[in-house]
């Protein structure tokens, strides 16, 4: 009976492709990123961690003693933003700063016990989140998508 039950009472939405804005690749990347971020924050509402914060914790566990500047380069963030995140993670007791023996400008970063535990919890949420995302694609499509996206930021 009902063909395409549009959810809008006023029915103000014509075909989404009518607007020229849908012809922009950047627009779709933006919307997809927003959708992923949205689902991420829902999944992580209990832990209270953002994508960036998890990424930073992850990197620090992967490479203990990593410097803030390295994190910035890895995640394409400027130093000020990295510092803000590290400060927050330090305030919450997940990360500790230490002195570097080689380069006295640097601070070596490492996770605390609490940081390791939180990241372990986070990994479970990430697995769930990634499943939600990857279920849309075949393995080949996933590989294709990652390869195309990689061309954008490398």
Residues of this chain that interact with a copy of itself (CB under 8 A) are 8-10, 12-13, 18-21, 24-38, 40, 51, 55, 58-59, 62-63, 66-67, 70, 73-76, 103, 126, 129-130, 133-134, 136-137, 139-153
Quick note: the x/- pattern for DNA over 23-62, rule CB under 7 A, is -----------x---x--x------x-xxxx---------
Please report how close the Cβ of residue 139 comes to DNA at its closest, in angstroms: 29
Contacts with 60 (C-beta within 8 Å, 6 or more apart), sequence order: 66, 71, 95, 109, 110, 111, 115
**Could you tell which of a copy of itself, DNA, none binds residue 79, using a CB distance below 5 to 8 A set by kind?**
DNA
C-alpha separations of 26 from 15, 38, 149 in Å: 19, 18, 11
Q: Is 129 in the site for DNA (CB under 7 A)?
A: no
Long-range contacts of 35-43 (CB under 8 A, 24+ apart): 36/133, 39/129, 39/132, 39/133, 40/129, 43/125, 43/128, 43/129, 43/132
CB of 83 to DNA, least distance (A): 4
């Amino acid at each position: 009976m009902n063909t395409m039950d549009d959810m809008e009472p006023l029915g103000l939405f014509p075909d989404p492709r009518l607007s020229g804005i849908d012809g922009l690749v950047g627009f779709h990347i933006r919307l997809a990123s927003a959708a992923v971020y949205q689902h991420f924050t829902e999944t992580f509402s209990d832990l209270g961690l953002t994508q960036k914060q998890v990424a930073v914790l992850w990197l620090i566990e992967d490479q203990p003693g990593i410097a803030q500047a390295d994190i910035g380069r890895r995640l394409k963030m400027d130093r000020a933003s990295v510092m803000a995140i590290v400060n927050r993670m330090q305030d919450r007791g997940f990360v500790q700063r230490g002195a570097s023996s080689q380069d006295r400008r640097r601070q070596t970063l490492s996770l605390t016990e609490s940081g390791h535990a939180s990241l372990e919890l986070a990994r479970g949420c990430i697995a769930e989140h990634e499943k939600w995302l990857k279920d849309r694609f075949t393995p080949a499509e996933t590989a294709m998508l990652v390869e195309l996206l990689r061309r954008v930021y490398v």
